[in-house]
């Protein structure tokens, strides 16, 4: 479970804080936006898989409610991103709506929340593993 969550956290952090800003710094805004828009469904799909599988492992392993809650909320955030926010942002972008920037901000906030929830779950698992070994 730690591996899955760490993989998603690393991927998300690298994409969000290194790849995307570099794309927007070096390419035309519309080109960078098109590239990022194509990567988002894959990135959030990986998150859905990692968090979803981790939640299933947590449930079947009867892990603490705190961890299960972190994972469940994270899964809901990722589902909303993948199946509501991204399609809505895409349709607003295509139509040239000024509301696109608001939806983009929602996407950034939700993605950041997902990474924080993932990080929290990783820290919880590491501390729990360390305490169990003592």
Q: pLDDT tens digits for the chain (134 residues)?
A: 999 999 999 999 999 999 999 999 999 988 998 999 899 889 999 999 999 999 999 999 888 899 999 999 999 999 999 999 999 998 998 888 889 999 999 999 999 999 999 999 999 999 987 776 65
Rounded to two decimals, the pTM is 0.89
Residues 19-43: pLDDT tens digits?
999 999 999 988 998 999 899 889 9
Residue that the structure tokens 């991927």 belong to: 11
CB atoms within 10 A of CB 20: 19
- pLDDT at position 132 is 67
- Residue ranges covered by each domain of the chain: 2-128
Reading phi first (left if > 0) and then psi (alpha if -120 to 50, else beta), residue 4 is in alpha
């Amino acid at each position: 479970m730690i591996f899955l969550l760490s993989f998603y956290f690393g991927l998300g952090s690298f994409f969000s804080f290194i790849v995307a800003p570099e794309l927007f710094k070096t390419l035309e805004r519309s080109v960078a936006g098109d590239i990022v828009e194509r990567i988002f469904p894959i990135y959030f799909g990986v998150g859905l898989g990692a968090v979803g599988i981790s939640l299933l492992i947590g449930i079947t392993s009867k892990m603490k409610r705190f961890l299960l809650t972190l994972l469940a909320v994270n899964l809901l955030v990722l589902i909303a991103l993948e199946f509501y926010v991204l399609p809505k942002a895409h349709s607003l972008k295509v139509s040239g709506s000024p509301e696109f920037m608001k939806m983009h901000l929602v996407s950034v906030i939700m993605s950041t929340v997902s990474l924080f929830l993932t990080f929290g779950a990783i820290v919880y698992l590491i501390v729990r593993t360390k305490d169990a070994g003592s």
